[in-house]
Amino acid sequence: MNIAVVGAGLMGRLTALSLTRQGYQVNLFDKDDKQAKQSAAYAAGGLLTPLGESMSCEPNIVKMGFTSLTMWPELLSTLDVNVYFQQRGAIMVSHEQDKGDHQRFVQHIARNYAQHTVTSLNKQQLYSLEPELAQHFNQGLFLPDEGQIDNRMLLTALQHQLELEQVNWVTEAEVSQITNQTTHCQLTVNDQVQHFDLVIDCRGTGARASLDPNHQASPLDDLRAVRGELFHLYAPEVNLTRPVRLMHPRYQLYIAPKPNHVYLVGATEIESDDLSPMTVRSAMELLSAAYSVHSGFAEANIRQHISQLRPAFSDNQPQVLVKQRLIQVNGLYRHGFLISPVVLKQVELAVARLDKREII
């Protein structure tokens, strides 16, 4: 089968690599160059924290998150380049005035995820795990199974691997139309029509661009963008080793430590498809939250401020939609890295099913 994967973000890269390894002829198309700077995955925080997310997502996402955590190490071991992956737990802290939110989280876990361990930490226990957090907080929660991955390192490693395994990767390829038929799928790339046995569209919010204006109802009509903003800070005075989540009445704020004193601080969540740079309000909220966790952030350098759009369906659930010769993978929302290994498995299954039908 001659397969086109459209969109070289996280899902596109994983899909292209996996299908190449299964012996398919894979062509990867993306409007960007190979750095994926326009992708949601490039902007992401790379947190693998299913319980941390659990208050605002349905139980199946949490389950997929835990399954994915077991799949990442194996997946990473097949890459030539080393990717920073950590599973040493995450810490949750809250300020005195937000104790209600802390309590709500504890109750939520006890009620819905009693099988998972969550440990309450006093100041001393907090000190033994993350000494610098104990300067500002007298208590916290430890979620021992949570982890994180360096999202950009992974995108680069996947790029390297796809090149190594000689996947045909067409950059600066604008896909303006996808026409799905019973026997093949037609792709309009930079105004040229190409035919494939199967097209897998992994473009996230970008997938809306090739909806035919006269089309009949499409499942992607329901796709929306949720704006997120985050900072990359270089903070040599801060020594945190695990992802830290700050209970906050308005946002789910996290600080994700990456190698070499780089900290990702995010993320806002705004129902908007506005891609313009971060607003002052968001900047103040994110930075004051980070500063309230660790005063060492005062002298940090702001390396990047990022705003990007997360693709989401109205139920905030990911979907792998199969119709004739087109598979649409979308709606991973704020959970791309958290659940992509499981979603990839679903894509692999869908392809296998289609392939068998062709053999028959």
Partner 1 sequence: MSLTIYGEKLNSRLLIGTALYPSPDIMKQAILASGSQVVTLSLKRQNPQEQSGQQIWQYIQDIVKQTNGFLLPNTAGCKTAKEVYTLAQMSRELFQTSWLKLEVIGDDYNLQPDPIELLKATDMLIKAGFNVLPYCTDDLVLCQRLYDLGCEVIMPWASPIGTGKGLMNPYNLETIRTRLPNATLILDAGIGKPSDACLAMEMGYDGILLNSAVALADDPVLMARAFANSLNSGEQAYRAGIMQPRQTAHPSTPTLDTPFWHQS
The residues binding partner 1 (CB under 8 A) are: 56-58, 97, 100, 104, 108, 111-112, 224-225, 227, 249, 270-274, 276, 279, 281, 312, 314-317
- Minimal distance in Å, beta carbon 310 to partner 1? 13
Nearer to partner 1, 212 or 221 (CB): 221
- Minimal distance in Å, beta carbon 154 to partner 1? 27
Enumerate residues 6+ apart whose C-beta is below 8 A from 347: 11, 15, 18, 200, 320, 327, 329
Nearer to partner 1, 55 or 81 (CB): 55
- Among 260, 267, 341, 350, smallest CA distance to 306 is for 267
Token output for 296: 């060492």
- Minimal distance in Å, beta carbon 23 to partner 1? 38
Nearer to partner 1, 103 or 176 (CB): 103
- Cα three-residue angle 348-350-353, rounded to 5 degrees: 110
Q: Are 28 and 222 in contact (CB under 8 A)?
A: no
- Taking each helix axis as running N to C, give the angle between helix 336-359 and helix 10-21, from 0 to 180 degrees, rounded to the nearest 10: 40
Q: Are 72 and 10 in contact (CB under 8 A)?
A: no
Nearer to partner 1, 100 or 131 (CB): 100
Nearer to partner 1, 104 or 323 (CB): 104
- Alpha helices, DSSP H, located in 54-210: 59-77, 99-112, 123-129, 151-164
- Minimal distance in Å, beta carbon 212 to partner 1? 19
Nearer to partner 1, 61 or 233 (CB): 61
- Among 349, 318, 317, smallest CA distance to 15 is for 349
Nearer to partner 1, 35 or 317 (CB): 317
- Minimal distance in Å, beta carbon 15 to partner 1? 25
- Minimal distance in Å, beta carbon 40 to partner 1? 16
Q: How many angstroms separate the CA atoms of 31 and 45, rounded?
A: 23
H/E stretch holding 353: helix 336-359
- Minimal distance in Å, beta carbon 316 to partner 1? 4
- Minimal distance in Å, beta carbon 97 to partner 1? 8
Q: Which residue has the tokens 């894509």?
A: 347
Tally: H helices and E strands in the chain: 9, 20
Nearer to partner 1, 250 or 356 (CB): 250
According to DSSP, the β-strands at 252-258 and 262-266 are: antiparallel
Tell me the HSE value of 300 on the side-chain side, using a 13 A CA sphere: 26
